[in-house]
Amino acid sequence: MIRTPYRIWLEFTGWLLCLLGWLYFLQGQLQWWQPGVLWVMFMVLFFLTQRLRFDAGAIPFVAVLVLLGWLFLTRLDPNWATTQTYGALLSGLGYLCGVFLGSTKRQRQPYLWAGAALGLVAITAIFGTSVGGARAWLTILGFRFQPVELARICLIPYLASYFTDHRSPWEVGVVLGAFFLVLAWQRDLGPALLMFAVFCWMSLFAHFTWSKLLAYGGVTFIGFGFAYHWFPHLQSRVQAWLAPWDYLDSKGYQVLQGLFALQSGGLVGQGLGGGMAKVIPNVHTDYLFAILGEEFGLLGTFSLFLLYLSLAFWALRLLHAVEEPYEQMLGLGLTLLLHFQVFLVVGGILRLVPLTGMTLPFVSYGSTSLVAQMIMLGMVVGLGGRRGDGSGA
């Protein structure tokens, strides 16, 4: 009988070959080395994680998500897929760094992490460039990236220390207030909303009271009101969210095209390459979920949700065995950071919440976000600790 780890990779290889065969039939040309290199990278990470006696159970799920994203990027524009491939290779190193950080005590330096988070967003606010209305990009030696993706990770160890070491509320108020103010100055409100949601859930997990829940709800409502008043681009997104038909030819166009794409997908979709991806603005970043739903249908989107739910279940199961409260809280914060982003991105496309302009984790185009997400995954793996029997996932 085939051992479980090898069966996992045999099934994954069969799935990937079928999709690549269909893509080759569809486009007539394909950069075969890219999925091959990515497949080898994830296989090496899987068996290396096992060799180091950590839990490698999440890597097959992430590999499917990354290869699925690469598949759709290739179908949209091969140049995007090539850039994403290089980003994915860099993210493999990020994963290993994350495992090292999670498995050592180096993450227990809260002020260093808080300073790094504030420093990253401050440098971006001063020297960064604006794209899509937000001053969220920094260019160094010709390489452009989003420092806020890394800054969000840096805040999680600080928050975990705050909730477990019972630090002063004024201290965390100053740190988070400064972080949010700098992001507001950059007009980058999506990450601010995401971090506030993670903070609220970590706080409620540490000590739940109804008064605290109501207070956070009130702060959210007041903060949203001020942001709506001061930021015209947020006003446009809210208007497109509430009444997209009134702005069919302008701010509501993207929202409606995404809904049309999902509706036309039906149960099983139009098939790979059968969607109208070219009519959706920023489809490779903000709206890759919509074209996935159009071409793979409800079954495809449901399968995507199952992958994310499987990742969440794996992380919570792993952290349940962690005894130290700080490490539990740190792992919970990283898991929330990843999965709240999924909710905000998908919720924006489904009109559950206004659009935030963030990427779908592991799937959408964006090397910085992919590296950051793999670092988070590695940290959770490291926090889970070494397994005494050396068995695989």
Is the separation of the CB atoms in 379 and 113 below 8 Å? no
Centroid of chain to Cα 392: 26
Query: Could you tell me if residue 255 is inside a domain?
Result: yes
Helices and strands (DSSP H and E) totals, the chain: 14, 3
Predicted local confidence at residue 390, as pLDDT:
39
pLDDT at 295 over 50: yes
pLDDT at 341 over 90: yes
Average pLDDT taken over every residue of the chain = 87
Q: Of 252, 232, 253, which is closest to residue 241 (Cα–Cα)?
A: 252
Query: Could you tell me if residue 393 is inside a domain?
Result: no
Q: What angle do CA 213, 217, 333 make, to 5 degrees?
A: 65
CA terminus-to-terminus distance, the chain: 17
Predicted local confidence at residue 391, as pLDDT:
37
For the chain, the domain total comes to 1
Predicted local confidence at residue 392, as pLDDT:
39
pLDDT at 371 over 50: yes
In one-letter notation, the amino acid at residue 256 is L
**What range defines the domain where residue 38 resides?**
4-20+31-383
Q: Kindly report which listed range (145-154, 207-216, 274-283, 337-346) carries the lowest average pLDDT score.
A: 274-283
Query: Could you tell me if residue 390 is inside a domain?
Result: no
Q: What share of the chain is helix, strand, coil (3-state, %, to 5)?
A: 75, 5, 25
pLDDT in tens, 156-205: 999 999 998 877 888 899 999 999 999 888 888 888 999 999 999 999 99
- Quote the percentage of the chain above a pLDDT of 70: 93
Beta strands in 162-302 (DSSP E): none
- The span from the CA of 85 to the CA of 80, in Å, is 9
Instruction: Return the H-helix or E-strand segment holding 134.
Output: strand 134-140
Predicted local confidence at residue 132, as pLDDT:
65
Query: Could you tell me if residue 26 is inside a domain?
Result: no
70-99 burial by CB neighbour count: b if 16+ within 10 A, else e? bbbbbbbeeebbeebbebbeebbebbbbbb
Model confidence at 1, pLDDT cuts 50, 70, 90, reads: very low
Residue 39, token pair as written in the block: 């497949």
- Quote the percentage of the chain above a pLDDT of 90: 45
Residue 46, token pair as written in the block: 């899987």
Query: Could you tell me if residue 391 is inside a domain?
Result: no
Query: Could you tell me if residue 392 is inside a domain?
Result: no
